[in-house]
Amino acid sequence: MLSIRTYQTEVLIIGSGGAGLRCALELHDKKRDVLVVGKCEKRDAHTILATGGINAALGTMDPQDSWQLHAADTIRDGGLINNPKAVMTLCKAAPRAILELVTWGANFHREKNGNITQRFFGAATYRRACFIGDHTGREILNVLVDQVEQRKIPFLSQVYIFSLLHSSQGVYGAVGWDIRKGTFVVIQAKAVVLATGGHSRMFSRSSSRFWENTGDGIGLAYRCGAQFMDMEMFQFHPTGMVYPENAAGVLVTEAVRGEGGILLNTHGERFMRRYDPARMELSARDVVARAIYTEVQAGRGTQHGGVWLDITHKPKDYILQRLPKVYAQFQHFLGIDISKKPMEVGPTAHYSMGGLWTNYTTGQTSVKHLYAIGEVTSGMHGANRLGGNSLAEIMVFGRLTGEALARKVKRQRWRSLNKKTVDTLISTFSQQFKNKRGNDPLKVKQDLMQMMWEHVGVVRNGKQIAAGLQLLEQFKKTSLFVHGPLPMNAKLLAALDLQHMLPTCEMILKSALYRTESRGAHYRSDHPTILSSWRKNVYCTPTRQGLRLFTKPVAKIPNTIQRLILEKQPTTHLLE
Ligand SMILES: Cc1cc2nc3c(=O)[nH]c(=O)nc-3n(C[C@H](O)[C@H](O)[C@H](O)COP(=O)(O)OP(=O)(O)OC[C@H]3O[C@@H](n4cnc5c(N)ncnc54)[C@H](O)[C@@H]3O)c2cc1C
């Protein structure tokens, strides 16, 4: 006997990270009915991994800073293909987001005079990242959850949404699986907001955790025929752990290089001299990532496919004071004292710049009644994300989408739940348990991520990508054997993840093949230069005949911002 719980809410928010919670608060305060669902625990969304800071041109340290300069830095670093309107909205509204967080109790680091401290992030003209120790994301999420609890906003944790309810009239709810109880959840809604985070787990080396950033929002929207943009744009952070296997990809903050850490290959050579002699280890993220990749490919890498990051020339006390988290990380995983031994590091998949297309002003996707906010969307960061901008984005667009939706859903009527559709979804889901043969979904997931890492990773080329697409066809045909006890079945969750990952991988591969130039994080060794003719966005839409890819030019950048982009050169500072 299947157990099904049903809910009705005006707005369903899928995702309880920063973006989802900020949106929920706005909807609640505008007197709308809202339900938040997350597949992890309440205070454990991916947002908590953010350490370094949140950008806002407050000018507390550098009064010359302005929202216009923030916008210019963002678009310049984004390879000039960001959505200019979205960037300007973000940069204007980011100071208000900081104020909101302060009002709600966020304890930002302050100067002796009481001003919020701001620090440099890579490619920022002035100091504009506000931070709370090295746990900015965790503090922001806690503050937002506290507010959600104070308002008693309904919240379902550990519920995995595996399908949206969708008809020709648009989206009207979702169906999920309660991971703890092993029961189904059916939610009817006037509108659905996807705040499901990014898709860095398409790659075997990733700074995310294994069970999140699996592209769920992308997969859910794909099956409703939504439009996506710039899926080829994926940021690889230069320094993640490469060893041991269970820690591979875990971020090693850029602060290590900011504090004087140097990169060495196995010959002991400080190889950044050959790639960027002026900025050395503090070069742009994509440049350092490609340099490390090239050293490893040329056989000058370490045993585990990385290079050495050495900070042993600094006193232990200094390291403990400045880099306590990295120190603890290497102690924990390897029992290594980084003041005595160098760290083995290599690039790791870090941030999804591409994703769902939205109009940004209201978060509306191309599908009726379906909205999206946060890392699941595209357009804000163009070809490269500026560190610190993502936390600002989730706060600003969480609020703006909440505001716009509150006005919309008030006038909107309910659509009735189609029982036949729900039954079909639940019985298709249950079929997975009936398969008596097939492959272990956990292993298939791992193999898929490895394929992506090898075929469309830090450096790509047409032949490799095309071969990756052929391999993807095999993955699509693989039958899965979901066995083991219920609930809390890791194999079942991996099988669900694969449903989202396969279309996400296909769009990344096809878009990467389509863009025949190199720009920002997208580097094609067979098309290594940036071409002005490619200053456009790549769109992807699922159709009955398969994926349709096309381009559209980027909107005009206003003259005031354009002038600043050309005038101001990014300075090299401590990077986080
Ligand atoms: C190591 C690291 C450090 C970072 N540091 C910074 C930094 O210093 N500054 C900065 O600006 N950015 C930083 N970022 C990026 C930033 O953390 C993220 O981009 C941002 O937190 C994304 O927030 P979000 O709300 O969009 O998604 P998330 O926080 O990823 O939340 C997604 C939510 O969706 C839920 N979900 C997903 N799929 C489903 C499903 N099928 N059913 C139900 N629920 C689902 C998840 O459970 C989760 O609650 C960092 C990222 C990493 C990995």
Q: Residue 472 sits in a domain of what CATH number?
A: 1.20.58.100
The pLDDT, as a whole number, for residue 571 is 52
Against a cut of 0.85, is the pTM above it?
Answer: yes
The predicted structure's pLDDT at residue 1: 59
Encoding tokens for residue 99? 């104020």
Residues above pLDDT 70, as percent of the chain: 98
Domain range spanning residue 312?
234-349
Atom of ligand 1 nearest to the CA of 500: 41
- In this prediction, what percent of the chain has a pLDDT beyond 90? 85
Q: Is the CB of 363 under 6 A from ligand 1?
A: no
Is residue 517 assigned to a domain? yes
Give mean pLDDT, residues 305-321.
Answer: 94
- To test the pocket of ligand 1, the residue of 256, 385, 391 to mutate (highest count of ligand atoms within 8 Å of its CB) is 391
Averaged confidence pLDDT in the chain: 94
257 among known catalytic residues: yes
- Same domain for 333 and 440, yes or no, is no
The pLDDT score that the predictor gives to residue 323 is 86
Asked whether residue 514 is assigned to any structural domain, the reply reads yes
SS3 of 201-222: the string is HHCCCECCCCCCCCCHHHHHHH
pLDDT of residue 570: 53
Domain count, the chain: 2
How far apart CA 133 and CA 136 sit, in angstroms, is 7
Question: Taking 80 as the threshold, does the pLDDT of residue 561 lie above it?
Answer: yes
Q: Is residue 410 part of a domain?
A: no
Position 266 in a domain: yes
The maximal CA–CA distance of the chain, rounded, in angstroms, is 68
Is the Cα dihedral 35, 397, 204, 137 positive or negative?
Answer: negative
- Has residue 226 been placed in a domain? no
Asked if 338 and 443 sit in the same domain, the reply is no
Q: Which residues contact 56 (CB under 8 A, 6 or more apart)?
A: 70, 94, 95, 97, 98, 128, 130, 392
Give the CATH number of the domain where residue 271 resides. Answer: 3.90.700.10
Sorting pLDDT into bands at 50, 70 and 90, what band is 14?
very high
Q: Report how far apart, in Å, the C-alpha atoms of 233 and of each of 245, 291, 349, 469 are.
A: 26, 19, 11, 17
CA distance 55 to 130: 6
Ligand 1 near 54 CB (within 6 A): yes
Residues shown for the chain: 576
**pLDDT of 568 strictly over 70:** no
- Tens of pLDDT, residues 180-212: 999 999 999 999 999 999 999 999 999 998 889
**Between 237 and 482, where is the model more confident?**
237
Please check whether residue 302 lies inside any domain of the structure: yes
Does the residue 148 lie in any domain?
A: no
Domain-located, residue 171: no
Token pair for 198: 């990014």
Q: Mean pLDDT lowest for which of 89-103, 365-379, 471-485?
A: 471-485
Cα radius of gyration rounded to whole Å, the chain: 23
Query: To which residue do tokens 């191309």 refer?
Result: 366
Q: Do 37 and 12 form a contact (C-beta atoms < 8 A)? A: yes
Catalytic residue among 70, 76, 128, 257: 257
Q: Which atom of ligand 1 is nearest to the CA of 373?
A: 26
Ligand 1, atom 20, residue with closest C-alpha:
47
